[in-house]
């Protein structure tokens, strides 16, 4: 078929070659028309020139000869009779005119002479001879007259009659020839015009025929190709263009179109196969999702892949880290036996191959195990003998960096070329079954994990409670003895000793606060903290907090600007917890403010949203942007606070956040490093807001 196409293409010519041929023919026809017209005009011009430049002047010259000779004969006869010398003068002029006319006649006859026309040449010669003979007679007559002798007049008449007859014959011949030339000129002109018209019509007809053939040779294959494209567009995928007609370019175009059609069909088949593989993987995943355990998932996988791919055998195994088989499943055609366990040495090789494929994110596929390049490998021969496989796809089952198992898709009866969609489908199924196996393992151990986490959480709570209790007891003793020493019960102390005791007191207070924060946080997270939900006046809490922290603010040269809000600022909650939250927020603001700074405290009521908003703003060191998202994490402290050695535990905001969220509120923090921090505690307004007798605090503002 390919050789036939090549021969057809070789026999065809290109459009450019055809057009060159058509143009060559048209140029030849045009040249023929031009040549015919020019030839006809040239022939006609030659006849006209011969008539006007030769024959016509020759006729006139012949007449002039006759007239000159007649004048000479008359003058001579008169002289003979009268002896008048004046007549000889006329005679001499006639002789000169005769000689000149003879020369002119000779020249014109030479122009008018043709190869086959000798008649007028003979007549012209006879006339010249007759003229010479008569003039010879005239000379002898003149001499006789001079001598007084008698002139032979009859001889002169005979000689002149001979001239007259010769002149008349030549005149008749020239007149006949002139009439013939005139007729020939008219005939030649008409023939030339007819020939030109015929040649022009022939050229037009040839141009029309050639143009139509050229148009048909180009347009008809294009129209048929367009019709083929239309048929394909209307749902006839098997339509093909003819490759045996038209120019070489059109034949190549038809061949390329047919090749493109074949590629399109192959692509459609590939897409259809890919779609079917996608549907197959979807159905397998849905079936595996309903499996109760890993073994059932492997059984479902093997059966679905075997039937969906139309193969002879499918096997799937899960292995441990040492490539020992944990679980296995098989599916095969009814005419095939069940395979036993894979030999250990082959399993080790396959396990190593599975790890390599998994790390390379690939698979192994063989189209024919009996191919020479495959049989040259010892492991391939071993695998063929163990399984009887002619073709195979091996895909590892893995997740992360862990190889869980491997899937084998086998052809036993014949070799098979595996498509990308088929290998991709097996890979997708392997990935899904890996997730199912991992999820099954996770579910199996989930209860154990939960139990261990709960046990660890209880141990953590017990540890914190024990540590806190064990730390509080010695701290109480330390505090008591410290108070005795400061009161002088053990004797008088120096100034330096008082300073040391103050340092001990400060650090003991810090340790006591840390222990208290740990206990509170532990109780909050464990849900063991006792709370009493009552209406709480935020105005009262803020006022008491300002009174409590005023000494701390004065020691740091910090000004407190407090607006405790209206009496309507009432929330439902535990008074002690809320008091701790407010104290932690304000004490942090004081601690991180610079000397001479101002801490602004505000409490507002949003009646429309029914919210109570507590705001505390300082103009201290601020918090770096990278640290702000972690400020509510336990034991986390801002990097600039740590760098400046500002004391703290990193538990205050974590406790505040937990308290606020337990009261149905929201805690927000905004800060700019070097400019200050704003903390907002947004709590729901109590339904009892505005009830008399709730607020019994004082307003510091």
37 and 173 in a single domain? The answer is yes
DSSP class of residue 625 equals G
Backbone angles phi and psi of 45, in degrees to 5: -65, -40
Q: How far apart are the first and last CA of the chain?
A: 105
Max avg pLDDT among 250-264, 453-467, 596-610: 596-610
Name residue 617's beta-bridge partners: 600, 678
Tell me the CATH number at 336: 3.30.450.40
Residue 541: band (very low, low, confident or very high) from pLDDT cuts 50, 70, 90: very high
In a domain, 344, yes or no: yes
* pLDDT at residue 560, rounded to an integer: 92
pLDDT(693) > 50: no
Residue 542: band (very low, low, confident or very high) from pLDDT cuts 50, 70, 90: very high
**265 token code pair:** 């069909």
Is residue 327 within 8 Å of 397, Cβ to Cβ?
no
* pLDDT at residue 438, rounded to an integer: 77
Domain closes at, from 166, 184, 209: 209
**Span 428-448, average pLDDT:** 76
Q: What digits encode the pLDDT tens for the residues 292-324?
A: 788 888 888 888 888 888 888 898 888 777 767
* pLDDT at residue 570, rounded to an integer: 93
* pLDDT at residue 83, rounded to an integer: 66
Kindly give the residue spans of alpha helices, DSSP state H, lying in 1-84. Answer: 2-11, 15-50, 56-82
Arithmetic mean of pLDDT over the chain: 77
Residue 696: band (very low, low, confident or very high) from pLDDT cuts 50, 70, 90: very low
Residue, of 473 and 551, whose pLDDT is higher: 551
| Gap between the Cα atoms of 224 and 242, Å rounded | 8
Q: CA nearest 302: which of 10, 291, 131?
A: 291
Residue with tokens 């026309």: 117
Counting the structural domains of the chain, the total is: 3
Q: Give the CA angle between residues 220, 203, 186 to the nearest 5°.
A: 165
300 and 382 in a single domain? The answer is yes
Residue 12 Ramachandran class (φ > 0 left, ψ -120 to 50 alpha, else beta): beta
Rg of the chain over CA atoms, in angstroms?
A: 67
* pLDDT at residue 319, rounded to an integer: 79
In a domain, 546, yes or no: yes
pLDDT(328) > 90: no
Q: What digits encode the pLDDT tens for the residues 641-665?
A: 777 767 776 777 888 888 888 888 9
In a domain, 435, yes or no: no
Residue 378: band (very low, low, confident or very high) from pLDDT cuts 50, 70, 90: low
pLDDT(118) > 80: no
293 and 414 in a single domain? The answer is yes
Residue 475 neighbours by CB under 8 Å, 6+ apart: 508, 511, 512, 515
pLDDT(121) > 70: no
pLDDT(444) > 70: no
| HEC assignment per residue over 626-692 | HHHHHCCCCCCCCHHHHHCCCCCCCCHHHHHHHHHHHCCCEEEEEEECCCEEEEEEEEECCCCCCCC
Q: What digits encode the pLDDT tens for the residues 133-175?
A: 888 887 787 777 667 677 677 777 888 888 888 888 877 887 7
* pLDDT at residue 9, rounded to an integer: 47
In a domain, 280, yes or no: yes
Domain closes at, from 427, 445, 472: 427
32 and 179 in a single domain? The answer is yes
33 and 135 in a single domain? The answer is yes
pLDDT(512) > 60: yes
pLDDT(219) > 80: no
Q: Give the CA angle between residues 12, 17, 19 to the nearest 5°.
A: 120
* pLDDT at residue 366, rounded to an integer: 83
| Gap between the Cα atoms of 655 and 681, Å rounded | 13
* pLDDT at residue 697, rounded to an integer: 38
Cα–Cα distances in angstroms (integers) from residue 8 to residues 60, 251, 408, in the given order: 75, 9, 50
Helices (H) and strands (E) in the chain, counts: 17, 12
Domain closes at, from 156, 190, 209: 209
* pLDDT at residue 612, rounded to an integer: 94
Q: CA nearest 47: which of 142, 97, 112?
A: 112
In a domain, 484, yes or no: no
Residue with tokens 């012949």: 62
279 and 205 in a single domain? The answer is no
In a domain, 254, yes or no: no
189 and 42 in a single domain? The answer is yes
139 and 283 in a single domain? The answer is no
| Gap between the Cα atoms of 37 and 207, Å rounded | 19
Tell me the CATH number at 653: 3.30.565.10
Question: Would strands 325-332 and 313-319 be described as parallel, antiparallel, or unpaired?
Answer: antiparallel
* pLDDT at residue 10, rounded to an integer: 46
318 and 181 in a single domain? The answer is no
657 and 573 in a single domain? The answer is yes
Residue, of 678 and 381, whose pLDDT is higher: 678
Residue 295 neighbours by CB under 8 Å, 6+ apart: 327, 329
Q: What digits encode the pLDDT tens for the residues 242-261?
A: 777 777 777 777 788 888 88
The boundaries of the domain holding residue 34 are 16-209
**Span 109-138, average pLDDT:** 72
Of 126-140, 181-195, 621-635, 661-675, minimum mean pLDDT range: 181-195
Residue 31: band (very low, low, confident or very high) from pLDDT cuts 50, 70, 90: confident
328 and 423 in a single domain? The answer is yes
In a domain, 218, yes or no: no
* pLDDT at residue 253, rounded to an integer: 79
pTM of the prediction?
Answer: 0.39
Residue, of 392 and 213, whose pLDDT is higher: 392
In a domain, 103, yes or no: yes
**Span 670-684, average pLDDT:** 92
52 and 195 in a single domain? The answer is yes
């Amino acid at each position: 078929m390919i050789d036939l196409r090549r021969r057809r293409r070789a026999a065809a010519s290109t459009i450019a070659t055809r057009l060159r041929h058509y143009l060559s023919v048209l140029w030849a026809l045009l040249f023929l028309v031009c040549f015919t017209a020019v030839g006809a005009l040239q022939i006609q011009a030659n006849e006209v020139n011969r008539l006007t430049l030769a024959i016509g002047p020759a006729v006139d010259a012949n007449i002039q000869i006759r007239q000159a000779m007649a004048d000479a004969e008359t003058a001579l006869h008169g002289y003979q009779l009268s002896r008048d010398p004046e007549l000889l003068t006329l005679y001499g002029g006639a002789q000169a005119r005769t000689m000149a006319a003879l020369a002119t006649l000779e020249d014109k006859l030479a122009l008018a002479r043709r190869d086959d026309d000798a008649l007028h040449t003979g007549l012209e010669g006879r006339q010249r001879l007759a003229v010479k003979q008569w003039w010879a007679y005239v000379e002898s007559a003149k001499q006789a007259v001079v001598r007084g002798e008698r002139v032979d007049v009859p001889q002169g008449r005979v000689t002149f009659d001979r001239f007259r007859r010769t002149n008349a014959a030549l005149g008749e011949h020239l007149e006949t020839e002139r009439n013939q030339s005139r007729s020939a000129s008219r005939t030649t002109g008409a023939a030339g015009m007819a020939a030109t018209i015929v040649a022009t019509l022939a050229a037009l007809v040839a141009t029309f025929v050639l143009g139509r053939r050229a148009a048909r040779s180009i347009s008809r294959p294009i129209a048929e190709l367009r019709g083929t494209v239309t048929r394909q567009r209307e749902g006839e995928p098997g339509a093909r263009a003819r490759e045996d007609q038209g120019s070489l370019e059109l034949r190549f175009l038809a061949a390329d179109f047919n090749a493109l059609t074949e590629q399109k069909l192959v692509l459609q088949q590939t897409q259809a196969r890919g779609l079917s593989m996608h549907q197959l993987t979807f159905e397998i995943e849905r079936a595996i999702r309903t499996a109760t355990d890993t073994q059932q998932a492997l059984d479902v996988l093997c059966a679905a892949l075997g039937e969906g791919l139309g193969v002879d055998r499918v096997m799937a195994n899960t292995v441990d880290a040492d490539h020992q088989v944990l679980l296995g499943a098989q599916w095969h055609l009814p005419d095939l036996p069940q395979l036993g366990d894979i030999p250990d040495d082959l399993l080790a090789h396959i396990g190593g191959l599975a790890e390599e494929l998994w790390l390379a994110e690939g698979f192994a596929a063989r189209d024919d195990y009996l191919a020479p390049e495959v049989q040259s490998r010892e492991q391939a021969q071993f695998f063929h003998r163990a399984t009887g496989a002619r073709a195979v796809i091996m895909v590892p089952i893995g997740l992360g960096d862990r190889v869980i198992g491997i899937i084998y898709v086998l052809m036993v009866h014949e070799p098979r070329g595996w498509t990308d969609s088929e290998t991709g489908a097996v890979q997708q199924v392997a990935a899904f079954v890996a997730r199912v196996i991992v999820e099954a393992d996770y579910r199996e151990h989930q209860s154990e994990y939960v139990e261990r986490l709960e046990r660890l959480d209880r141990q953590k709570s017990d540890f914190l409670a024990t540590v806190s209790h064990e730390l509080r007891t010695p701290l109480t003793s330390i505090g008591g003895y410290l108070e005795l020493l400061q009161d002088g019960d053990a004797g008088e102390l120096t100034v330096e000793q008082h300073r040391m005791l103050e340092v001990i007191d400060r650090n003991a207070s810090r340790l006591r606060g840390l222990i208290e924060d740990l206990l509170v946080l532990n109780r909050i997270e464990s849900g063991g903290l006792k709370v009493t939900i009552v209406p709480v006046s935020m105005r009262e809490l803020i006022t008491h907090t300002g009174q409590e922290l005023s000494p701390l603010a004065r020691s740091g040269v910090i000004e407190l600007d407090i607006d405790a809000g209206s009496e309507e600022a009432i929330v439902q909650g535990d008074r002690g917890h809320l008091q701790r939250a407010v104290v932690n927020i304000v004490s942090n603001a004081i601690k991180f403010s610079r000397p001479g700074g101002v801490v602004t405290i505000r409490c507002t009521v949003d009646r429309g949203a029914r919210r109570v908003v507590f705001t505390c703003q300082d103009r201290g060191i601020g918090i770096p942007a990278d640290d702000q998202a972690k400020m509510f994490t336990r034991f986390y402290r801002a990097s600039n606070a740590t760098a400046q050695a500002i004391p703290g535990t990193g538990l205050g905001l974590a406790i505040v956040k937990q308290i606020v969220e337990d009261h149905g509120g929201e805690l927000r923090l905004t800060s700019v490093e070097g400019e200050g921090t704003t903390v907002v505690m947004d709590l729901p307004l109590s339904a009892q807001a505005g009830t008399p007798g709730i607020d019994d605090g004082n307003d510091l503002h």
